[in-house]
Chain A
Amino acid sequence: MLISVGRIKQLVIKEFIQIFRDKRMKAIVFVIPILQTMVFGYAVTTDITMIPAAITDSDRSLESRELARRFSASGYFQFAAAPESPAAVQELLDRGKVTVAIRIDHGFSKDLKQGVPTAIQILADGTDSNTAIVALDYAGRIIKKFSRDMAHPASAGAVRIDVRQRAWYNPELKSKNYNVPGVIAMVIMLTSLLLTSMAIVREREIGTIEQLMVTPLKPIELMLGKTIPFALIAFFEMILITAFAVLKFDIPIRGALYLLPLSTGIYLLSVLGIGLFISTIAKTQQQALMATFLYYMPAVLLSGFMFPIENMPLFFQYVTTVNPLRYFLVIIRGIFLKGNGLSLLWPELASLFLLGVVVLFLSTFRFRKRLE
């Protein structure tokens, strides 16, 4: 079972020539990863600030104005309107022009001065529940602080607990620090999967695969020749995105740099294996495209990339254990944000390796059978 490295090398060169014969592919391999990084870095921010709000102040007192001032000074709310009637508030909320509408009634300051408990009405648009929860939380805190500041010293019997908060790894709680490293994983997966499966199926569709079969090429050499080019492209993209992330987005890399290509290599075992597998079930490029996407979407959604795995129902948590992306994400985030090293990441690396070996084994088996 001697494998000729020379033959594999020729195949790899041929593949590169074919791919880049189309000048647009060069642009695609370069531009798309950067584009995705940019979009994920800037658009996918779950940091919630400048929530559009409306305020109806029927009291117009010093106190009510101070409360309003605190809302806009917090940086969380941006007053977009001052509606005069409940109907106006209704329209603002219906049209989605504001997310929160605050109403301070007449008698607010009088009650405050007399130490009588008073109420403020807050209407929230619950359509985007995430924003609504955070908005209500912010509003609640602002009101609570204001309430405490206005309180008479006579309420000395009150218990006060001061919560000292610290956020580790991402102290300013910037969501891009969490998302951008993950983009590396996603882009690598998409390009490798798509290129591998489509490239192999393309030969089958056009008919050139028969020409390949009459050569002395062994199945394993064909396989390696068809997957190595895309592994190389994947590494290139990894370097590209990492450089972009660090230079443009100031994402920290706190861990050992050597772990990045190492884990990428192990990750590619599974990804290329799946690409090979797809190429064995797809007869046309259309099928390859749809099958790739059919795998890609659930893989991304159930990986912990955007949605924490701990919040999923138990059944889905089990499903994620066979998802290579899940482990790769932990490793990547560990390297970038937590400064984790081999000692902490070895379980994920081992799982990734095991998965990769199994997937490759199965795909290779199918691939060889298909060739016969």
Chain B
Amino acid sequence: MHLRRIIAIAKKELIQIRRDPLSLAMAFLMPMLLLFIFGYAITLDVNNLTTIVYDLDRSGISRELVAEFTASGYFSVVRSAESPREIDAYLDTGKARVAVTIPEDFSKNISANRVAQLQVIVDGSDSNTATIALGYLDVLTDKFAQRLSGSSAPALIDPRIRVWYNPELKSRNFIIPGLIAVIMMVIAALLTSLTFAREWERGTMEQLISTPIKPLELVLGKLIPYFLIGVIDMALSVVMTIFLFEVPFQGNLIILAVISSIFLFGALGLGIVISIVTKSQLVASQIALVATFLPAFLLSGFMFAISNMPAPLQAITRIVPARYFVAALKDIFLKGNPFRYLAADVIFLVVFAFLIITIANSKFNKKIE
């Protein structure tokens, strides 16, 4: 293996990258854009649910109940319905997500110590929001009932709740660290998946083949400049996460750097393999998106918990490198565990990087077909 040849290829690739400033700009813009959107626009936290209230009781008590719902910040009453048909209309058109009907004997039942009823309809289309909305309603109704009962009948069992690692339960704190993994995977794929195919299509690959260069030297040489871009993107993302989004950082920067580098190596390698195998930029781009973006986004545990998935899919996530990187990132940012807890993840990433480079090496044929 000649280091000089690898560096020569790296320099050539760098020159070619510089000739395409638009792509380079996009490579740096993309992580920032994604982080920006995830940091500011997107939240899984559910608040201000549009609610329509059909109050048939119109008593002081029913009005107090509605006031409690509004005061919580979780519900926003957009309409006091005058007929049941309005409920249909509002839910069908999506003007309201929640409909609360208070029957006319509500306050009478409460005063007489009978069980009072409350009818709640939620728009179940978005089951995530619906489940959380129902949960909030339960809690608020319970609190209301307790308040009315006075302190004469306290709850027999008081659950003392403490939340670790992310005490304010900010969804941002768990989404953004995982997002870094997705961003890195995507950038790596987009940058490297076309590089070999491009040379085949342009015809410059034949010139490269006629040199004494070995496949491994070519692969490594092409990898280096994109690795550098990836490292810069990684640093940018981490800085934004910690300083702009104030996600806590409990772990060790050096460990973060090491794990990220190993992951980046493997991800870039995957892009290169796709590029080598497909030889067509059009085909490579589609396969790259499906083989890297989809798994990283959906199957890495970044947003959707792996434990919720059916067993066969859970098995598939074991070969998704992003899964291990996401776990490591969440750990480093939120838990700050000692390194030995991360060892299993790191070993997988190392094995993956090693394997992928081996595959790239074997798949590259210095032959013209």
In the bound complex, how far is the Cα of B48 from the Cα of A164, in angstroms?
Answer: 21
Indicate if B261 sits at the interface (CB-CB under 8 A): no
* Per-position binary interface string of chain A over residues 125-142, scored 1 when its CB falls under 8 Å from any chain B CB and 0 otherwise: 111111111101111110
CB of A79 within 8 Å of the partner chain: no
Residue of B27, B286, B330, B331 with highest tally of chain A CB at under 10 A: B286
Give the chain B neighbours of A283 by CB distance below 8 A: 22
1/0 per position for A43-63, CB-CB distance to B under 8 A?
A: 111111111100000000000
- Asked whether any CB of chain A lies closer than 8 Å to the CB of B142, the reply is yes
Contact mask for chain B residues 271-290; partner A; CB cutoff 8 A; 1 contact, 0 none:
00000001011110111011
**Which residues on the A side are within 8 Å of B137 (C-beta)?**
163, 165
Q: Bound complex: CA of A51 vs CA of B29, how far in Å?
A: 38
Q: Which residues of B contact A32 (CB under 8 A)?
A: 286, 290
Interface segment, one of A8-16, A33-41, A227-235: A33-41
Whether, in the assembled complex, A247 has its beta carbon less than 8 Å from a beta carbon of chain B, the answer is no
Q: Is the CB of A290 within 8 A of B23?
A: yes
- Report yes or no: B186 in contact with A129, Cβ–Cβ below 8 A: no
Give the distance in Å from the alpha carbon of A170 to the alpha carbon of B134 in the complex: 14
Of the listed stretches B35-43, B232-240, B348-356, B357-365, name the one at the interface; the rest are far from the partner chain: B35-43
Please name the residue on chain A nearest to B309 by beta carbon.
A43
Contact A155 B153 (CB under 8 A): yes
Which one of A116-124, A259-267, A353-361 is at the B interface?
Answer: A116-124
Q: Which residues of B contact A127 (CB under 8 A)?
A: 165-166, 173-174, 330, 334-335
Q: Are B159 and A139 in contact (CB under 8 A)?
A: yes
Q: Say yes or no: is A333 at the interface (Cβ < 8 Å to chain B).
A: yes
- Cα A202 to Cα B173 with chains together (Å): 41
Minimum CB–CB distance for A303 against chain B, Å? 11
Q: Binding site of B, secondary structure by majority: helix, strand, loop or mixed?
A: helix
Contact B294 A147 (CB under 8 A): no
Chain A nearest CB from B312 CB (Å) reads 8
Name the A residues within 8 Å of B29 (CB-CB): 294
Contact partners of B171 in chain A: CB under 8 A: 129-130
What residues of chain B lie closer than 8 Å to A131, measured between beta carbons?
A: 305
What is the bound-complex CA distance between A126 and B174, given in angstroms? 9
Distance, CA A156 to CA B20, complexed state (A): 78
Number of chain B residues whose Cβ lies closer than 8 Å to a Cβ of chain A:
117
Answer yes or no: A94 CB below 8 A from chain B CBs.
yes
The segment from A174-182, A238-246, A268-276 found at the interface with B is A174-182
Asked if A47 and B127 sit within 8 Å, CB to CB, the answer is: yes
Centre residue among A94, A120, A155, A156 by max chain B CB count within 10 A: A94
Q: How far is the CB of B345 from chain A (nearest CB, A)?
A: 11
Partner of B283 from A22, A52, A125, A333 at Cβ < 8 Å: A22
Given A46-B304, A124-B164, A159-B148, check contact A293 B186 (CB 8 Å). yes
Answer whether residue A161 sits at the interface, using C-beta atoms and an 8 A cutoff: yes
Contact with A along B42-53 (1 / 0, CB 8 A): 111111111000
Tell which of B138, B160, B287 touches A141, judged by Cβ atoms closer than 8 Å.
B138
- Interface presence of B70 (CB below 8 A): no
Q: Would B283 and A25 count as touching, CB distance under 8 A?
A: yes
Is the Cβ of B115 less than 8 Å from the Cβ of A162? yes
Q: Does A24 contact B (CB under 8 A)?
A: yes
Which of A42, A164, A169, A298 touches B33 (beta carbons < 8 Å)?
A: A298
Listed stretches B4-12, B118-126, B216-224; interface member: B118-126
User: Do the beta carbons of B309 and A45 come within 8 Å of each other?
Assistant: yes
CB distance B159 to A122 under 8 Å?
yes
B-chain residues with CB within 8 Å of residue A206 when the two chains form the complex: 201
Q: What total of A-B pairs shows CB separation below 8 Å?
A: 346
Q: Is B256 an interface residue (CB 8 A)?
A: no
Instruction: For the complex formed, measure the closest distance between the CB of A167 and the CB atoms of chain B, giving whole angstroms.
Output: 3
Say which residue of B127, B129, B166, B168 sits within 8 Å of A177 (CB atoms): B127
CA A272 to CA B309, docked complex, whole Å? 35
Whole-angstrom distance from the CB of B310 to the nearest CB of chain A?
Answer: 6
Known interface pairs A129-B169, A167-B124; A161-B145 also in contact (CB < 8 Å): yes
**Range for the number of chain A residues in contact with chain B:** 35 or more
Q: Within the assembled complex, what's the spacing in Å between the Cα atoms of A227 and B278? A: 24
Query: Do residues B125 and A178 form an inter-chain contact, with CB atoms below 8 A?
Result: yes
Known contacts A285-B198, A293-B186; A316/B41 CB under 8 A? yes
Question: Do B152 and A157 have beta carbons less than 8 Å apart?
Answer: yes
Question: What chain A residues lie within 8 Å of B50 (beta carbons)?
Answer: 310
Chain A residues, CB < 8 A from B138? 137, 141, 163
Knowing A134-B135, A290-B27 are in contact, say whether A175-B127 is a contact too (CB < 8 A): yes
B47 touches A311 (CB 8 A): yes
Q: Does B144 contact A (CB under 8 A)?
A: yes
- Distance of A72 from chain B, by nearest CB (Å): 16
Is B307 an interface residue when CB atoms closer than 8 A count as contact?
yes
Residues of B within 8 A of A308 (CB): 46, 126, 129
Known: A44-B298, A133-B132, A313-B41. A123 touches B278 (CB 8 A): no
When the two chains form their complex, are residues B121 and A174 in contact, meaning their CB atoms are under 8 A apart? no
Q: Report the stretch among A209-217, A218-226, A336-344, A363-371 that lies at the interface.
A: A336-344
B348 CB, nearest partner CB in chain A, Å: 16
A81 at the interface (CB under 8 A from B): no
Identity of the chain A residue whose Cβ is nearest the Cβ of B122 in the assembled complex: A167
Task: Say whether A65 faces chain B, with CB atoms less than 8 Å apart.
Answer: no
State which of A35, A112, A290 has its C-beta within 8 Å of the C-beta of B190.
Answer: A290
Is the pair A122, B161 in contact by a Cβ cutoff of 8 Å?
Answer: yes
In the complex the two chains form, is B37's CB within 8 Å of A302's CB? Answer: yes
**In the bound complex, do residue B190 and residue A43 qualify as a contact, i.e. CB atoms below 8 Å apart?**
no
- A164: which B residues are within 8 A, CB to CB? 117-120
In whole Å, how far is B59's beta carbon from the nearest beta carbon of chain A?
14
- A277–B293 Cα distance when bound, in Å, is 23
Residues from chain B with Cβ under 8 Å of A306 in the complex: 303
> B42, B280, B289: which contacts A293 (Cβ < 8 A)?
B289
* Interface positions of A (Cβ within 8 A of B): 19, 22, 24-25, 28, 32, 35-36, 39-40, 42-52, 93-96, 112, 115, 117-134, 136-141, 143-144, 146-147, 150-151, 155-175, 177-178, 190-191, 194-195, 198-199, 202, 205-206, 281-287, 289-291, 293-294, 297-298, 301-302, 306-308, 310-313, 316, 330, 333, 337-338, 340, 344
New A-B contacts (15) at CB < 8 Å, excluding given A158-B149, A312-B43: A39-B299, A40-B298, A43-B304, A43-B313, A50-B307, A93-B164, A139-B159, A159-B145, A160-B115, A161-B142, A163-B118, A286-B194, A306-B303, A338-B92, A340-B92
Please, could you name 17 A-B residue pairs with CB atoms under 8 Å apart, sorted by A?
A: A22-B280, A28-B283, A46-B308, A96-B327, A133-B132, A144-B157, A158-B145, A167-B123, A170-B130, A172-B124, A177-B127, A289-B190, A290-B23, A290-B30, A290-B190, A298-B34, A344-B93
